[in-house]
């Protein structure tokens, strides 16, 4: 929707500049002024950040976790579904951590 450095391709810019009133944002309100649209363009060019918390950067546009096939923990009695095995192993580990921490 908003690719840093590519404001012209941005869905947001399309929405605020579109000639079709049914598509243009803000909905049911007068169109943004040129300076307002320019401010949006500059914001996108910089790499949009929401309240300094969320940064949409080219890095975050690729999935950080690629699909992969993890090694399956061994099956415990009655737990043979692969997802259950992963969750069970995780919970076991967390339980041991908690026990070591005196919890
Ligand atoms: C300057 C202010 C606004 C901007 C930049 C903006 C931007 C956008 C964008 C980029 C989308 C598309 C989202 C997507 O495809 O995932 C969208 C959809 C939508 N917006 Fe806005 N919006 C604004 C104001 C508003 C306001 C004030 C309303 C309601 C009164 C509104 C109602 C909607 C609705 C209902 C949709 C989904 C339906 C559609 O695709 O037309 N927006 N908006």
What pTM does this model have? 0.57
Q: How far is the CA of 41 from the centre of ligand 1 (A)?
A: 16
Contact 54, 45 (CB under 8 A): no
User: Across the chain, what does the average pLDDT equal?
Assistant: 81
| Cα gap 80→61, rounded to integer Å | 35
Kindly report which listed range (22-36, 59-73, 81-95) carries the lowest average pLDDT score. 59-73
Angstrom CA distances, 79 to 4, 30, 44, 65, 70, stand at 46, 60, 49, 26, 17
CB 45 within 8 A of CB 4: yes
Ramachandran sector of residue 20 (left: φ over 0; alpha: ψ -120 to 50; beta: rest) = beta
| Cα of 35 from ligand 1 centre, angstroms | 19
What tens digit of pLDDT does each residue of 45-75 get?
877 666 555 555 555 556 667 788 888 998 8
Distance 62 CA to ligand 1 centre (A): 25
Closest atom of ligand 1 to 40 CA is 5
């Amino acid at each position: 929707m908003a690719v840093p450095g590519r404001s012209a391709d941005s869905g947001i810019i399309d929405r605020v500049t579109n000639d079709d009133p049914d598509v243009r944002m803000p909905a049911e309100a007068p169109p943004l002024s040129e300076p307002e649209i320019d401010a949006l363009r500059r914001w996108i060019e910089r790499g949009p950040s929401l309240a300094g918390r969320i940064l949409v950067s080219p890095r975050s546009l690729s999935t950080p976790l690629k699909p992969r096939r993890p090694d399956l923990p061994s099956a415990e009695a009655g737990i043979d579904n692969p997802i259950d095995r992963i969750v069970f192993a995780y919970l076991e580990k967390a339980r041991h951590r908690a026990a070591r921490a005196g919890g």
